Chains A and B, each alone.
Chain A
């Protein structure tokens, strides 16, 4: 719960968080090391100075850290934990559904744990989707199209094998497909950040919600165009949010484009924890206004309190079927406990 300076309670759903293990013990090779190093560079580069973590903590933080950072020091009511295996880089997976579910067990009312799969695994991917539904009753999955898998260095949402998986998701009621468009490696002629496969998949799977993390950046214009055409495409704001601190005017330009093209009902807050913690992002976001000259270029769009409330929680609550009033009551009766230090 975020309490505004006027005392209003704002319900927060953090749409993009992780509980990873990037420690040297779990790294399978140099790629595993370089992957977490790159995350750490994002962290140290875009965080306010007083929010910086030491490398070792960043590589592997504890369950208590998660509770404290998200719910005690942080304003989150609900956190959506994403799974990402990166099996070519990490021995036991980077962030596995089993480990995250076990972490969430102390406060299950606070977490939604999403699964993931790799369509290139063929039949095994389909079996795995069944396994996740039966054992964890997942409502969503995180797709990472730049993941390496043997000789393959990436895949597209409209690959035939991926379509088989999405058909199964649709059938099992796994509705929310979070997509992280990482840079694709080969072919080199392809735009590494291309988002056009989203268009095909969203058209062909109208029952599924397509939440594109970091709102398609650095292909914001293409993404906006697609999201305008498709009613089931949403923008996750992870990675875009921290620019509010380092480059506030730039953040305003991004938000103006998103509000103009995609609309206030389809934008979802995400801190990308543990790359960033939600407390400072939510606080700065609540106090933020798009500069007038930027807003004027897009017919005066602005982040009103009402719109901010939607972005910070109400939009995600709709996608995940959360009854906000009931949830608020439930949570106020069950404060988060962390072990005494």
Chain B
């Protein structure tokens, strides 16, 4: 295997790992959003990742969370010895880059800008929104499939696992909802109800309409930002640039991300 191929393979490995980092406000992988601008592996052990957000003004706490997510995910690859994350063109970039690449624990850095509130509390707030959004998709999908309100509130984890998804969006959210549900210990055994609130309260069939209205509220907020972010990013940066040796890996990845984003946009219209 040539050095160039090895390097490209490792870069793909890094990119795949970055799919696990989500934009906290949108609950979408940063790779799908086209935020990752450059991935480079040096000497098969050092990784550099550049990322950019849709605008210079995107909220800095999202930027911090994403930067740390990148560092955490890339560091988890066994061959990686060093990670450098570089946020570009952002009003808070110096502090984000210093915070994520410095020697101090990032929780400590974050707390400093938070009036003492912890990173974990902020993460939980976003996780709750992600949970609502994923759950709404699945609730609407099962309702569409003909399940009654009673069937829905009675549905167990085992029944959920056996569902066959019809649409692209519910196929995507099916494992994502389950993952969050189980990781937060909101359901564990096969006969546990699968549709409960983020606080762990069970639902009755009479609650369902109001519960869905609440979830819709969460989605309307997230979609506003999501629509703007996709659109703004595409108008801010998207042109595939040719390097000396033709387009680079990241160009193709970005192009794919952009095409996916546009397709998602079309699908939602």
Whether the Cβ atoms of B218 and A221 lie closer than 8 Å is: yes
Q: Does B6 contact A (CB under 8 A)?
A: no
Q: Which residues of chain A have C-beta atoms less than 8 A from B227's C-beta?
A: 243, 246-247, 250
Whether the Cβ atoms of A183 and B59 lie closer than 8 Å is: yes
Whether the Cβ atoms of B224 and A217 lie closer than 8 Å is: yes
Whether the Cβ atoms of A297 and B225 lie closer than 8 Å is: no
Indicate with 1 or 0, residue by residue over B192-216, a CB within 8 angstroms of chain A CB atoms. 0000000000000000000011101
Q: A44-B235, A247-B227, A250-B268 are in contact. Are A187 and B56 (CB under 8 A)?
A: no
Q: In whole angstroms, what is the CA distance A130 to B54 when docked?
A: 40
Q: Does B121 contact A (CB under 8 A)?
A: yes
Whether the Cβ atoms of A189 and B61 lie closer than 8 Å is: yes
Q: In whole angstroms, what is the CA distance A246 to B223 when docked?
A: 13
Whether the Cβ atoms of A219 and B125 lie closer than 8 Å is: no
B226 vs chain A, min Cβ distance (A): 9
Whether the Cβ atoms of A192 and B56 lie closer than 8 Å is: no
Number of A-B residue pairs with CB-CB distance less than 8 Å in the complex they form: 105
Q: A45-B231, A189-B121, A249-B269 are in contact. Are A218 and B113 (CB under 8 A)?
A: no
Among A35, A188, A221, point to the contact of B113 (Cβ < 8 A): A188
Q: Does A24 contact B (CB under 8 A)?
A: no
Q: In whole angstroms, what is the CA distance A256 to B25 when docked?
A: 23
Whether the Cβ atoms of A37 and B121 lie closer than 8 Å is: no
Among B55, B92, B110, B122, point to the contact of A38 (Cβ < 8 A): B55
Q: A38-B55, A188-B122, A189-B117 are in contact. Are A248 and B269 (CB under 8 A)?
A: yes
Whether the Cβ atoms of B114 and A189 lie closer than 8 Å is: yes
Q: Which residues of chain B have C-beta atoms less than 8 A from A41's C-beta?
A: 54-55, 231-232, 235-236
A180 vs chain B, min Cβ distance (A): 13
Q: In whole angstroms, what is the CA distance A46 to B235 when docked?
A: 10
Q: In whole angstroms, what is the CA distance A1 to B122 when docked?
A: 48
Among A31, A34, A182, A187, point to the contact of B117 (Cβ < 8 A): A187
When C-beta atoms are compared, the residue in chain B nearest to A44 turns out to be B235
Whether the Cβ atoms of B64 and A188 lie closer than 8 Å is: yes
Q: Does A63 contact B (CB under 8 A)?
A: no
Q: How many chain A residues touch B (Cβ–Cβ < 8 Å)?
A: 37
Q: Which residues of chain A have C-beta atoms less than 8 A from B89's C-beta?
A: 34
Q: In whole angstroms, what is the CA distance A199 to B236 when docked?
A: 35
Within 192-226 of A, Cβ neighbours of B (below 8 Å) are at 192-193, 217-221, 224
Whether the Cβ atoms of A192 and B59 lie closer than 8 Å is: yes
Q: Does A253 contact B (CB under 8 A)?
A: yes
Q: Does B217 contact A (CB under 8 A)?
A: yes
Whether the Cβ atoms of A221 and B221 lie closer than 8 Å is: yes
Q: Which residues of chain B have C-beta atoms less than 8 A from A40's C-beta?
A: 235
Within 120-159 of B, Cβ neighbours of A (below 8 Å) are at 121-122, 125
Q: A34-B91, A183-B57, A221-B217 are in contact. Are A189 and B222 (CB under 8 A)?
A: no
Q: In whole angstroms, what is the CA distance A219 to B223 when docked?
A: 11
Q: Does A185 contact B (CB under 8 A)?
A: yes
Q: A34-B91, A188-B64, A192-B61 are in contact. Are A218 and B224 (CB under 8 A)?
A: yes
Interface residues of B (CB under 8 A from A): 25, 54-62, 64, 89, 91-92, 110, 113-115, 117, 121-122, 125, 212-214, 216-218, 220-225, 227-228, 231-232, 234-236, 268-269
Additional A-B contact list (16), CB under 8 Å, known A193-B59, A246-B269, A250-B220: A37-B236, A38-B232, A41-B54, A42-B232, A45-B234, A46-B231, A183-B57, A183-B58, A189-B61, A192-B59, A218-B25, A219-B221, A221-B214, A221-B220, A250-B227, A253-B216
